[in-house]
Each structure stands twice: as C-alpha cells, then as structure tokens.
Amino acid sequence: MSAAASRRPAFARAAAAALLVATFAGCADVADRMPVRPAPEAAPTPSAPAGARGPLADQAARELVAGLRAQGHSERVARWLAATQTPDAAPLIVGNATRLLVDGPETYRAMFEAIAVGRRHVHLETYILAGDETGRRLADLLLERRRQGVRVSVLYDAIGAIGTPTEYFDRLRDGGVALCEFNPITPRSGRPVSLNHRDHRKILVVDGRIAYTGGVNISDVYSSGSASARRRSERGTGWRDTHIEIRGPAVAELQALFVGTWRRQGCPDLPDAAADSAPPPAVQGDRVLRVLASTPDDARNAIRDELLVAMGAAERSIHVTMAYFVPDPRMLETLEAAARRGVDVTLVLPGFSDFWAVLAAGRSHYARLLEAGVTIRERRDALLHAKTVVIDGVWATVGSANMDWRSFLHNDEVNIVVIGEGFGSEMERMFAADVERSVPVEAAAWSRRGLAERAKEGLARLLEYWL
C-alpha cells in the first residue's frame, strides 16, 4: 500500500473539516436541530410492515408478529417491533436475506462478484472513489459490464474523491459509464457550492436484486483486512470495517435512494428509468429490516432518532463498534442512563485513527462515560472504521453513519436496521471478536493521562461540531 493511499480517507475528511471551518456556519445544538421521538410508555400498535408488494394488511402484520413469536425467544422480538415501530418510523420490510461482510477483502469479493454477473444495471454510490489499484479493478469491471450492454451509473462525493485523477473519471466516461459528482466544490452551471453537505453513503445495487451498504469505500486502504494487523507495530496495515449484503424487497428501497440522490443532483444520463417501475425483488428470506436514510435537509435525523429510541429501550446490552464516536449531549445522556439502570453498555472504539481530531474529541467524553459505568475498549491493532450497534441481541444496525455530529447534521447517510435474534446473534459474535482484539480503558489509568493529551482533547472538543 502506498503512503498516499494510506492517507486518503484522512485527507478526505480533513479537507471537509478544513473547508467547513473556513465557512464557519455557526454552531447549533444537534439536539435542538433533530428532536427525538420519546420512547413509548406502552407498546404502540405497529404500523403496517412492508413486503414484496408494499405495505402489509393488518392481518398480515399480525401474522408476521405471530410468526416471530413462534421462533424461540421471540417475545423479545415482538417487544422490539412494538418499541421501535412508531407512526413516523420507517416501515419494516419483510422477506429479506442478509449476509454480514467483515472488512474490505470480503466486501470487495462479494460486490465485485455481483457486478460481474449484472445483466441490466449497476448503480454505485460511494464517498471515496480512489484511482488506486482497487479503484482500477472496479473500473475495469464496470467498463467490461458496460461493453456487455449493462447500464452503469456511478455517484461519488466531490470531497471524498478530491484526490482522484481526472484521467480516472475520463476513462469511465469514455467507456459509457454515467457519472455524477455529488455537490461539486467548484461552481458548475450556476449550481451553488455546498462545502459542508457531503454524501457519505455507500450503496451498490445490481439489477435491482442484490444490494450492499455499510462503511467500506473504494480505496486500497481497505484491501488489507483487520486480521492482517497482529501487533501494535503493524497498525495501519489493516482496516476493520463492516458491510451488509441484502437480497429481497428491501433492495428496492436502496435503489430508490440512489436514483433519488442522482436526480436531486441534477446530473445527466439518469439511471435506467425502467428500474423505477420494475417489480420489487421477490421474498428471499426471513429477515425483517428497515432502511434508514438521512440528509441535512430532514427535519429530524431518522438514524439518530432510531438509535436513541433503541438505546432507551435496551434491557440487557448495548454493544457499539464505532469508527468516529463524538456523541452529542443527548446521546451521552442516553448511554449513561442505560448504564446506570444496569444495561451492559460496551463501546469498542479506535485506539488510533486516520484523523486525530475526531479521536481526540471522542476521548474527551471518556471520563464522564466511565464514571457512569460504561465499558470502553480500544482496538489498537487495526484501524477501526466500522459503524455497527447491536442491542439486546435483537435490534442491530450496520451502515455508513458514525455516532458523531458530522453524520447526524452534515452528511447524507444510510443504515440498515435488522430486528431478529438470528442476525442479532451474528452481530454479537462479530462484536465479541472485536472485544477480544481490543484493550480496556480503565478509569484510574485514564485519569493519569498527560497534559498534552488533555490539551488535544480540549481543542478537538471545541471543533466537534465541524469534524
């Protein structure tokens, strides 16, 4: 891996932060900008879930809950369906199959295999699209599919791809790939420049039948998985991340998000219009999930909203693996309250980062969390970039959103929530592996950290809104 490649995500995030601070948009409290639904005192009547043919009738919804109850320990699942399915919640989507993908190599293998057998269209949305070896492998594959008559559309963020050579995009465009740059940072055809609003989503949809989302960008830094970093001296050689593969009716939601963003950006060569009217994918499995999407224009952030409700409803455990953890006041209060009522709140966070200020800002909250009884562990053998949470072994989320101000206020993000004990068990096993490879942060030792570290944390804390 080249030095330039290893710095790419840090450069993209630092560029966004630097440009943002320069504009100094003013600091509003995230809690005021995005009010959260209160956790229901009594279980509400769930709004109708959705299936392959749209919202389910009341009887079908009751049958869904009854079927889940028939699966072991499913009263817990029914409780979670009720606790999180309030009238303004995103609909539950039934009949899906999912696969957890751990780290870049596994994710690229699955995504590239799906692209290679695409027959109608390939839609790719990503924050970072690098022109390195991984990016070139992807370009070769997309161009080969295009030569076979497949419609290929690529949406990338202007700052995330700020270091990608123009020649890379020229090659794709000359090969017939439709390209869309999200919020260019230079004036274009009268469009206003938006430095702060970035597209942090990672979405791949192939033929409307299979979709991927999560934390993995297109860059060589993900080409070495976390298992390759065995010792502290090797840190940075492996990145720890998580993606999810989805088959079934929920794929249509991710495809609609992609097409909607493309159209809002006003880019030419719209993706295959026929894809919009194609029937939703057929039932592929028994996973029950919802697709949560957010943009800075939303009145409330659906991802943060659901996270706070879910953490507020936790009875046993809140297990978080998070790349960028810079909680706002309400998020802090919710985690502390859960720990004080006896919930096992364990955070696996980075021991080092591609952007020092985010790490320092997060660490400025450690003392308060530790005092409340939250367990904090750091991975110091690999760079942690995953964004996952599993609660009570039943409610789980994988996506692009970090638990920080940037994800909740400034970026387009997308997360998948899966409710069920099967997927919850998979997530708990993955979390246990992260715990095993992390080291605890002890309150006594933390209180003895040096003045230099405290100064960095204080400075970063002042900037956390913009990071």
What does the pLDDT read at residue 228? 65
What does the pLDDT read at residue 88? 76
What does the pLDDT read at residue 189? 60
> Is 269 tagged catalytic?
no
Query: What would the two tokens of residue 15 be?
Result: 């560029």
> Is 73 tagged catalytic?
no
Q: What is the DSSP string of 82-144?
A: HHH--TTSPPPEEEEEEEEEEHHHHHHHHHHHHHHT-SSEEEEEES-B-SSHHHHHHHHHHHH
C-alpha span between 185 and 127 (Å, rounded):
14
What does the pLDDT read at residue 250? 97
**Pick the catalytic residue: 103, 207, 354, 404?**
207
**Pick the catalytic residue: 123, 202, 243, 410?**
202
CATH architecture of residue range(s) 17-96+286-463: 2-Layer Sandwich (3.30)
What does the pLDDT read at residue 23? 39
CATH number of the 97-277 domain: 3.30.870.10
The torsion angles phi and psi of 57, rounded to 5 degrees, stand at -70, 165
Q: Tell me the C-alpha to C-alpha distance, in Å, between residue 33 and each of 292, 300, 305, 414, 415.
A: 18, 7, 12, 19, 20
pLDDT (tens, 9 = 90+) of the chain, 467 residues, equals 444 444 456 655 555 554 444 333 333 444 445 444 444 333 333 345 555 545 544 555 556 566 666 554 467 888 888 888 766 788 899 899 999 999 999 999 999 999 999 999 999 999 999 999 999 999 999 999 999 999 999 999 999 999 999 999 999 999 999 999 999 998 776 677 788 999 999 999 999 999 999 999 999 999 988 876 554 434 546 999 999 999 999 999 999 999 999 999 998 877 666 565 566 688 899 899 999 999 999 999 999 999 999 999 999 999 999 999 999 999 999 999 999 999 999 999 999 998 899 999 999 999 999 999 999 999 999 999 999 999 999 999 999 999 999 999 999 999 999 999 999 999 999 999 999 999 999 999 999 999 999 999 999 999 998 88
What does the pLDDT read at residue 62? 59
**Pick the catalytic residue: 392, 404, 412, 434?**
392
C-alpha span between 36 and 371 (Å, rounded):
25
> Is 202 tagged catalytic?
yes
The SS3 call for residue 272 is coil
> Is 456 tagged catalytic?
no
Are both 17-96+286-463 and 97-277 of the same fold? yes
Cβ atoms 256, 104 nearer than 8 A: no
**Pick the catalytic residue: 121, 200, 365, 410?**
200
What does the pLDDT read at residue 22? 39
**Pick the catalytic residue: 387, 404, 410, 412?**
387
> Is 58 tagged catalytic?
no
Q: Where are the domains of the chain?
A: 17-96+286-463, 97-277
The SS3 call for residue 393 is coil
Task: Write the CB contacts of 22 (distance below 8 Å, at least 6 apart in sequence).
Answer: 195
**Pick the catalytic residue: 121, 123, 385, 456?**
385
Cβ atoms 202, 216 nearer than 8 A: yes
The SS3 call for residue 457 is helix
